[in-house]
């Protein structure tokens, strides 16, 4: 590096991934052949070959910040951002991403996040008796490749056909296999309360734990905000679970709101508080509790003060929505000025999302300002599209980044 480099030049808003290997930048200065590159730890060094007095500069990764500092050795030499990026991209982890019919839209969003992710097709057919008749296109072409499958277990009827593919892909001489299952559907059935109860969460975990090992070793399983923390111990040694969260998407969205400095987080019960309070500890918190009165379960305010606040109810999933609505009424009765909700998994069986109305101002007991969900449940996303108060926060960026690990 030059002894007296010019001040750092900050390039805002590139698509900056978690790894230097997948950096992108949109401005073209010189051809890649004009430069010589070498990588040292978290730094790419770049030397200009074509000019009379070659100059050197480096691209430094800046942790936790969505921009790149380009430290230039001489202010008279143009920057080689695109050249460095193209060089880094050559060494990025290429992933062949398969998907089921339900996750096609999400898979396309994931692929749009990175040039290193290539979508691959599966033909989903059935025989006359209704059982799957499946075909993996270009099976020879995935030999020696990193392969992933984006699944959606929205109902028992679609699980078997996807399991057939999931069990087949690792055996096609692939370099590694990753199963992305954004929503682990049996998560609420994780324990036995009386003799005879069947813990189906454990059953599904055992099924996934027996996915064949690929050339690279055990299958990696990526899932978001699993319902019960102890479920991570249900999986066997033949699978490596990666437990991710949609809460960072919520935090980013809250920062964009005009009243971001007046937000409190509410949890409908102690279980939601245990799951999420550490990720949201910078917000004032409100905790509700379910208490039983005769044959009814009633939600009450346990701690915190919602008066005059925009209160966001946070939980991992919603089914009928009854608990959220009861929590909403309690918060409104205690003076909340606005009420919104976030759940990672919007399941909403039997169109129960229709219970939630938009609050256009001044009626937090009857409507929500926002209801955020992720696209972990694709069928729900189709139903609530362009319907207020719903807003979808996509997991595509998080999935794409995880596939590069």
Distance set, CA 107 to CA 52, 102, 158, 239, 383 (Å):
47, 10, 17, 22, 18
Residues whose CB is less than 8 angstroms from the CB of residue 198 and which lie 6 or more positions away in sequence, other chains included? 189, 192
Q: Nearest 5 degrees, angle CA 136-CA 158-CA 111?
A: 55
pTM of whole model > 0.85?
Answer: no
Q: Which residues pair with 147 in a beta bridge?
A: 96, 177
Spatial distance between the Cα atoms of 7 and 15, rounded to a whole number of angstroms? 23
Does position 329 have pLDDT exceeding 90, yes or no?
Answer: yes
Task: Rank 10-14, 70-74, 91-95, 211-215 by mean pLDDT and report only the highest.
Answer: 211-215
Q: Residue 338 corresponds to which tokens in the numbers above?
A: 């606005």
Q: What is the distance, to the nearest Å, from the Cα of residue 367 to the centroid of all Cα atoms in its chain?
A: 27
Question: What is the pLDDT averaged over residues 135-149?
Answer: 95
In CATH terms, 95-244+398-403 corresponds, of 1.10.10.10, 3.40.50.970, 3.40.50.2020, 3.90.960.10, to 3.40.50.2020
Q: Residue 176 corresponds to which tokens in the numbers above?
A: 């590694």
φ/ψ (deg, to 5) at 147 = -125, 140
SS (HEC) of the chain: CCCCCCCCEEEECCCCCCCHHHCCCCCCCCCHHHEEEEEECCEEEEEECCCCCCCEEEEECCCCCCEEEEECCCCCCCCCHHHHHHHHHHCCCCEEEEECCCCHHHHHHHHHCCCCEEECCEEEEECCCCCEEEEECCHHHHCCCEEEEECCCCCHHHHHHHHHHHHHHHHCCCCEEEEECCCCCCCCCCCCCCCCCCCHHHHHHHHHHCCCCECCECEEEEEECCCCHHHHHHCCCCEEEEEECCHHHHHHHHHCCCCHHHEEEEECCHHHHHHHCCCCCCCCEEEEEEEEECCEEEEEEEECCCCCCEEEEEEEEECCCHHHHHHHHHHHHCCCCEEEEEEEEECCHHHHHHHCCECCCCCCCCCECCEEEECCCHHHHHHHCCCCCEEEECCHHHHHHHHCC
Domain 247-374 architecture = 3-Layer(aba) Sandwich (3.40)
Is 107 within 8 Å of 150 (Cβ atoms)? yes
Is 102 within 8 Å of 150 (Cβ atoms)? no
Domain boundaries, the chain: 9-90, 95-244+398-403, 247-374
Upstream peptide bond of 229 is cis (omega within 30 degrees of 0): no
Q: Residue 331 corresponds to which tokens in the numbers above?
A: 């918060």
55-103 residue pLDDT tens: 444 444 433 333 333 223 333 334 444 454 455 555 679 999 999 999 9
202: confidence class by pLDDT, cuts 50, 70, 90: confident
Is 374 within 8 Å of 223 (Cβ atoms)? no
pLDDT at 92: 77
Judge if 95-244+398-403 and 247-374 fold alike in CATH terms: yes
Does position 312 have pLDDT exceeding 70, yes or no?
Answer: yes
- Nearest one of 146, 151, 213, 150 to 176, comparing CA atoms: 146
Query: Could you tell me what percent of the chain has a pLDDT over 90?
Result: 64
Is 364 within 8 Å of 329 (Cβ atoms)? no
pLDDT at 188: 63
Does position 353 have pLDDT exceeding 50, yes or no?
Answer: yes
196: confidence class by pLDDT, cuts 50, 70, 90: confident
First to last CA, the chain: 31
Taking each helix axis from N to C end, the angle separating 396-403 and 104-112, rounded to the nearest 10 degrees, works out to: 60
42-66 residue pLDDT tens: 444 544 444 444 444 444 443 333 3
Half-sphere exposure of 37 (CA within 13 A, CB side): 21
Can you give the length of the chain in residues?
Answer: 405
Distance set, CA 259 to CA 254, 256, 327 (Å):
9, 9, 21
């Amino acid at each position: 590096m030059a002894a007296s480099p010019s001040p750092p030049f900050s390039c805002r808003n590139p698509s900056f991934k978690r790894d230097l290997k997948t950096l992108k930048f949109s401005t073209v200065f010189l051809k890649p052949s004009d430069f010589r590159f070498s990588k040292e730890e978290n730094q790419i060094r770049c030397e200009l070959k074509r000019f009379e007095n070659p100059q050197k500069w480096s691209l430094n990764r800046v942790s936790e910040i969505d921009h790149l500092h380009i430290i230039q050795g001489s202010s008279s030499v143009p920057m080689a951002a695109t050249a460095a990026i193209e060089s880094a991209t050559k060494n990025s982890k290429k992933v062949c991403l398969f998907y089921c019919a339900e996750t096609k839209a999400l898979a396309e969003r994931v692929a749009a996040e990175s040039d290193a992710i290539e979508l691959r097709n599966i033909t989903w057919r059935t025989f006359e008796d209704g059982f799957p008749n499946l075909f993996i296109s270009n099976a020879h072409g995935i030999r020696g490749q990193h392969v992933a499958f984006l699944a959606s277990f929205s109902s028992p009827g679609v699980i078997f056909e996807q399991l057939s593919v999931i069990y087949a892909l690792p055996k096609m001489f692939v370099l590694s296999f990753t199963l992305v299952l954004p929503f682990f559907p049996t998560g609420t059935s994780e324990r036995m309360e009386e003799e005879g109860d069947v813990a189906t969460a454990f059953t599904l975990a055992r099924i996934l734990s027996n996915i064949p090992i690929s050339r690279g070793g055990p299958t990696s399983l990526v899932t978001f905000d699993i319902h019960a923390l102890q479920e991570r111990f249900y999986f066997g040694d033949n699978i490596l679970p990666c437990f991710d969260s949609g809460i960072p998407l919520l935090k980013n969205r809250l920062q964009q709101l005009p009243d971001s400095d007046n937000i409190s987080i509410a949890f409908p019960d102690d279980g939601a508080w245990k799951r999420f309070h550490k990720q949201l500890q910078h917000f004032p918190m409100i905790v509700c509790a379910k208490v039983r009165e005769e044959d009814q379960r009633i939600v009450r305010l346990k701690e915190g003060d919602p008066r005059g606040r925009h209160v966001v109810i946070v939980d991992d999933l919603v089914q009928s929505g009854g608990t959220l609505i009861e929590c909403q009424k309690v918060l409104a009765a205690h003076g909340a000025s606005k009420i919104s909700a976030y759940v990672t998994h919007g399941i909403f069986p039997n169109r129960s999302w229709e219970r939630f109305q938009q609050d256009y101002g001044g009626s937090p007991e009857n409507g929500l300002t926002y209801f955020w969900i992720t696209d972990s449940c694709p069928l729900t996303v189709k139903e609530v599209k362009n319907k207020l108060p719903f807003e979808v926060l996509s997991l595509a960026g998080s999935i794409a980044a995880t596939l590069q690990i």
